[in-house]
Structure 1
Amino acid sequence: MKATFAVAAALAGAASAGSIHHRHAHDAFRALEKKNYDNGTCGCTTIYSTYYGEATLSFPEVPATTAIPTTSTSTPAPVTATSTAVVVVVPTPVAQTCSTTGVYTFPATTITLTESTTVCAPSTTAVPSGTHTVGGVTTVVTTATTVTCPYATVSTSEGVTTSIVATTTYVCPSAGTYTIAPTTTTVDKSTTITVPVVTTYPAGTYTQPEVVTTITETSTVVYCPFDIPGPTASTTAVQVPTTYPVVSATPVVPKPSSYPTASSSATKPKPTGSGGLGGAAGHPWGISYTPYETSESGGCKSASEVEKDIAAIAAAGVTTIRVYSTDCDTLPNVGSACAKHGLKMVLGIFIDAPGCDANNPSVNEQISAIKSWAQWDLVDLISVGNEAVFHGYCQPSELASLITKCKGEFSDYSGPFTTAETVNIWQQSDFSSALCGVVDVAGANAHAFFNTETDASQAGQFVKGQLDIVSDICKGVSGIILETGWPSAGNTMGLAVPGEAQQKEAIESIIKECGDKAILFSLTSDQWKSGDTACACERDFGCAKVLGINI
């Protein structure tokens, strides 16, 4: 059965539902990045205390005394404690089943919570075939400490699956990034799975607006989300899962009918390998850039506008620009400006629909544009795909084949190739086994803001931890962070607070810890991005001001 999410449009009062796809916004129920540690390698002792509730949306009252066994393994048998479940109605997305095609209208619903409420709520994520580590809680510690937190999991008894809230304590001997109590699931084909998460809703009134949607496939489940009240002086915004989704990067804009052709001769190709990537320690290496207008309508910037942006970036000491695709004359306009001002480029081939090969018209067009442009002396790295496996557009083997094909197509380029995925995708055995042999560097997107246990001051430690993880996955292949940032506005996500001061603190922390190996996201804040998300922060990742870039 196919699951979709309906997003209520504030102005129109209705919206259509569509499959989860690569957007340039953080969906409230975007697949989460997870990490998997074995206690034998991290040196931690795990103490489990598990409490079972009666229903998916319930949070049990913990009894006064409970026996807590100690174990040194990561998957101990839980201890069941007698408890009384308090059933509450909370504003989780309302699941509506559409058995046939047609136009459906779902009426508005309002829920009022008189006090802060914590429940075990469902979240969904699209996964390819294979074994996946999901759930759990990710946290960063700066010293030897003990971390105690609730986490969500499921229990199956006599054919009935029940979401449960469990508490686990990690005793860790050193600083680092840890994922606590994840679970493992195996699927034989690409599908959408449901993962329970511990979610806290502050007191307030939540409204799920009326949704009108056209269903084109039978047996579709539509999830109608509630609007999230803004934080008040006494409450914080909804705390979504402790691990994070990923910022996207390219809007839908009109593509030019043709690409101007530059010289096709290669000049001074760089040596293959990942060792030369990056900048000076303690300084920002690169920033992501899209040549689109920042207004709600989007559209393409002119060559002179692009040149002005690139000149400002260069003046601020940033040395590399990451682009995501070839539309809006990216190659001739951004490339010419980079050549003029002495900047390097990370090129991208964008995959935003199933069809992970050069027979995909969009992919083939981008390959052709890059071959025609062929200014290889400007290129530090080529990234084939941005979260293409994460979003189910490619199987790992297909993506590996496409990278190999691109290497053949760009035969005059001898620099490194990669792809950009979240760390949890790199950790999947089918992905790493397929990609480690074809990439020259392991590219990861990592955003500390969506780890709700990480505040702005810890952003650098978190991103550095992600870099260390991905650097250890492929033997002899170093890692690189291709996207990371912090919003200047939006809703609070646990300990992650958006704001101009917090953005400055977070970006400076990232630069200090790993700025020489990270691409910051992004140059501008963009109104064409969606504002109807849990964090309400998608339009506010522009960090030019923090970096002293005058645009």
Structure 2
Amino acid sequence: MTGPYNAIRLINAFNGIRRIVPISNTVSGNKPDRKPTHFVPYATAQLSVKMRPKLMWLALACVLAVKYVDAAGCQKQSNKDIHGGQAIRDVSGRRESDCCQLCRETSGCKAYAWNSYQGGTCWLKSASGPIVDAAGTSIGILDGSGGNPGGSGVGQLGICYSPFHHPNYGSAATIRSVLTEDIKKIKSLGFNSIRTYYAEYFGQSIADILNEQGGVTAALGIYMYPDHADWIDAQINTAAAAAKRYPGLIKAIYVGNENIPPVGGFSVDSLIGYINKMKQKLSQQGVSVPVGTVQRYTEWVSGREDVKRLVNACDVIGANLYPFFNAGTNPADPVPVFDSQLQSVKNKFPGKRIEITETGWPSGGSTCNGSSQPRSVDQIRSYFQKMRDWSRSHSEKVYYFQDFNKVTNPGNDCENYFGIMDAYGNKKFDI
């Protein structure tokens, strides 16, 4: 029941008339197809001139006292805060409209508070009271205050994003619509963070699309083009401009992905040079965003001296961890291998901020770089759910690989089957 409905009902009650007459929603004599949302208080005109202002003020007070329930299912109140329970986590760079969904996806969360700190911060709470006055702060309480049962959704997982799957990808004329369609699809699954491999596509900044859609932050990638230093510089400039234009939207910038020897063609010293250039551009813009690079688990734990120098140049490092490619992985319980890989990286570089920038499991394909692990929809569902649950109980950020199958005709290469959706955006399993 809405606030205006209650206000009008109060006015009519004072006038002795208990009915509210809706404006008709009928078309050609048919019955209304939805609940009327506008009401005509016929009796209001009968109030005395002396009484009408007083009653109108009373009605307005009733409207303002209503606890509105938003689309995500939270009762919202303005200029209030919650001084009870424990602070489960805080997520900065968010709009208030993001907070309810974050709470719903977080185990134990019953309510949130939001204020403008650090570009907008959702403070997730384990209790829904007591509620106190607090100017500039808004709260939301999960409908029923039941929190998240921990059995569905995406948890704290981010998702790796690339538009190359899309049938309409391939030109500047279509890129904005492709990116917009994809981000809307990703949001509809419940994801609120993505990792990209490029900062722009055909000159279109992905950050522009994320800002327009709202509710999704990004770890931006800088793609390393062999023999095209000017293209790399364009990516760096776009990323720096996005960090300046949209405070809180860009959570990290990763220069390069699996591109140092023996699998990549860029020397470590060359990569360090581009990392420093990215930092310099951010400094010139007057903004601070962590900068690093993404490499395979194998390179991070190699003990190579050049890799140590690379780590020292980074604010954050991204590790791609794949139990799928480990011959000793038990497919029914792959998490111990994942944990072991992550711990090995942490042991090599104690105190360094580490994010898991890729992990996943394919649903098909017969050629898999020597891996003999099973590949099926049931297997990818199981691994996704295990990573989702892992993300809820650990502080390290995880970006699941990936959103869509790489191509519309994946063939036999299992690399094309890692998507939780096919190339057309159809879910392989319920999220």
TM-score with structure 2 setting the length: 0.55
Instruction: Looking at secondary structure, tell me which structure has more strand per residue.
Output: 1
Pairing of 1:291-310 with structure 2 (within 5 A)? 291-295=163-167, 299=170, 302-310=175-183
Alpha-carbon offset, residue 329 of structure 1? 4.8
CA distance in structure 2 between the partners assigned to 1:445 and 1:285 by the alignment: 14
Matched residue, 2:158: 286
| Deviation sequence 1:382-414 (CA, Å, 0-9, x none) | 001111214342222322222122101111331
Q: Which residue identity is paired with 2:365? A: G
Matched residue, 1:68: none
Matched residue, 2:383: 506
Alpha-carbon offset, residue 488 of structure 1? 1.1
User: Runs of 4 or more off by more than 6 Å in structure 1?
Assistant: none
Instruction: Looking at secondary structure, tell me which structure has more helix per residue.
Output: 2
Q: Give 2:216's match in structure 1, choosing from 343, 346, 359.
A: 343
Q: Give 1:409's match in structure 2, choosing from 258, 262, 281.
A: 281
| 2:250 corresponds to 1:379 | yes
CA distance in structure 1 between the partners assigned to 2:405 and 2:175 by the alignment: 18
CA distance in structure 1 between the partners assigned to 2:318 and 2:274 by the alignment: 16
| 2:318 corresponds to 1:443 | yes
Q: Secondary structure at the match of 1:420?
A: strand
CA distance in structure 1 between the partners assigned to 2:251 and 2:428 by the alignment: 25
Q: Secondary structure at the match of 2:358?
A: strand
Alpha-carbon offset, residue 448 of structure 1? 1.9
Q: 1:513 to 1:291 in 2, by over 3 A?
A: same
Structure 2 gaps of 5+ residues are 1-116, 121-147, 422-426
CA distance in structure 1 between the partners assigned to 2:118 and 2:311 by the alignment: 27
2:258/2:294 contact within 8 Å kept: yes
Structure 1 gaps of 5+ residues are 1-266, 271-279
Q: Return the structure number with greater relative CO, CA threshold 8 A, min gap 6.
A: 1
1:461/1:513 contact within 8 Å kept: no
**Aligned residues, how many?**
267
Q: Secondary structure at the match of 1:413?
A: coil
CA distance in structure 2 between the partners assigned to 1:502 and 1:464 by the alignment: 19
Alpha-carbon offset, residue 340 of structure 1? 2.5
Alpha-carbon offset, residue 505 of structure 1? 0.9
Q: 1:380 to 1:548 in 2, by over 3 A?
A: farther
Q: Secondary structure at the match of 1:507?
A: helix
Q: 1:459 to 1:529 in 2, by over 3 A?
A: farther
1:354/1:394 contact within 8 Å kept: no
Alpha-carbon offset, residue 319 of structure 1? 1.8
1:310/1:341 contact within 8 Å kept: no
CA distance in structure 1 between the partners assigned to 2:407 and 2:389 by the alignment: 30
| Deviation sequence 1:228-251 (CA, Å, 0-9, x none) | xxxxxxxxxxxxxxxxxxxxxxxx
Q: Which residue identity is paired with 1:285? A: L
2:259/2:295 contact within 8 Å kept: yes
CA distance in structure 1 between the partners assigned to 2:291 and 2:249 by the alignment: 14
Q: 1:503 to 1:405 in 2, by over 3 A?
A: same
| Deviation sequence 1:205-252 (CA, Å, 0-9, x none) | xxxxxxxxxxxxxxxxxxxxxxxxxxxxxxxxxxxxxxxxxxxxxxxx
| 2:344 corresponds to 1:473 | no
Q: CA RMSD in A?
A: 3.2
1:404/1:438 contact within 8 Å kept: yes
Q: Secondary structure at the match of 1:407?
A: helix
Matched residue, 1:462: 337
CA distance in structure 2 between the partners assigned to 1:517 and 1:462 by the alignment: 17
CA distance in structure 1 between the partners assigned to 2:208 and 2:348 by the alignment: 32
Alpha-carbon offset, residue 514 of structure 1? 4.0
| Deviation sequence 1:425-445 (CA, Å, 0-9, x none) | 112332332122221222111
CA distance in structure 1 between the partners assigned to 2:277 and 2:175 by the alignment: 32
Q: 1:397 to 1:353 in 2, by over 3 A?
A: same
| 2:265 corresponds to 1:393 | yes
1:464/1:513 contact within 8 Å kept: no
Q: 1:330 to 1:310 in 2, by over 3 A?
A: farther
| Deviation sequence 1:309-363 (CA, Å, 0-9, x none) | 32232233322111101342575355323553311001011114268xxxx1221
Q: Give 1:367's match in structure 2, choosing from 220, 227, 236.
A: 236
Q: 1:332 to 1:467 in 2, by over 3 A?
A: same
| 2:362 corresponds to 1:487 | yes
Q: Secondary structure at the match of 1:292?
A: helix
Q: Secondary structure at the match of 1:456?
A: coil
Matched residue, 2:420: 543
Identity of aligned pairs, percent? 25
Q: 1:344 to 1:331 in 2, by over 3 A?
A: farther
Alpha-carbon offset, residue 470 of structure 1? 1.6
| 2:184 corresponds to 1:311 | yes
| 2:402 corresponds to 1:522 | yes
Q: Which residue identity is paired with 1:420? A: V
Pairing of 1:48-87 with structure 2 (within 5 A)? none
Q: Which residue identity is paired with 1:396? A: V
Q: 1:307 to 1:548 in 2, by over 3 A?
A: farther
Q: 1:440 to 1:494 in 2, by over 3 A?
A: closer
CA distance in structure 2 between the partners assigned to 1:431 and 1:319 by the alignment: 35
- Largest Rg, 1 or 2: 2
Matched residue, 1:324: 197
